[in-house]
């Protein structure tokens, strides 16, 4: 990964963690989501409620670079449990 790519991923991860902390989540370290051909993004999961956030350094035109329940819902909201 190039230095500019690393900087982009780091910036997105910091923004994602700040958004998740605003909603009272305690997030895990980011892990790479990939297959043999490409990297899809980097995921982090709330240690308390299990909601996640994904950063995508190269989203398609119809995608976003930061998304997931942890940046949209407060920790402990019951959306993920189907209520």
- The predicted structure's pLDDT at residue 78: 63
pLDDT digits (tens, 9 = 90+) for 35-81: 888 888 999 999 999 999 999 998 999 999 999 999 999 998 865 44
CA–CA distance, 17 with 67 (Å, rounded to integer): 11
Element (H, E) at 43: strand 39-45
CA–CA distance, 44 with 37 (Å, rounded to integer): 21
pTM listed for this prediction: 0.85
Q: Decide if 62 contacts 52 (C-beta within 8 A).
A: no
**Which token pair is 49?**
């409620």
Backbone angles phi, psi at 34, to 5 degrees: -155, 170
């Amino acid at each position: 990964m190039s230095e500019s790519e690393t900087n982009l991923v780091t910036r997105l991860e910091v923004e994602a963690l700040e958004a998740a902390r605003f909603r009272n989540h305690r997030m895990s370290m980011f892990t790479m989501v990939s297959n043999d051909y490409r990297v899809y993004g980097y995921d982090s999961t709330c240690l308390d409620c299990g909601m996640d956030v994904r950063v995508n350094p190269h989203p398609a035109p119809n995608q976003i670079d930061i998304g997931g329940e942890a940046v949209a819902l407060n920790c402990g909201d019951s959306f993920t449990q189907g209520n």
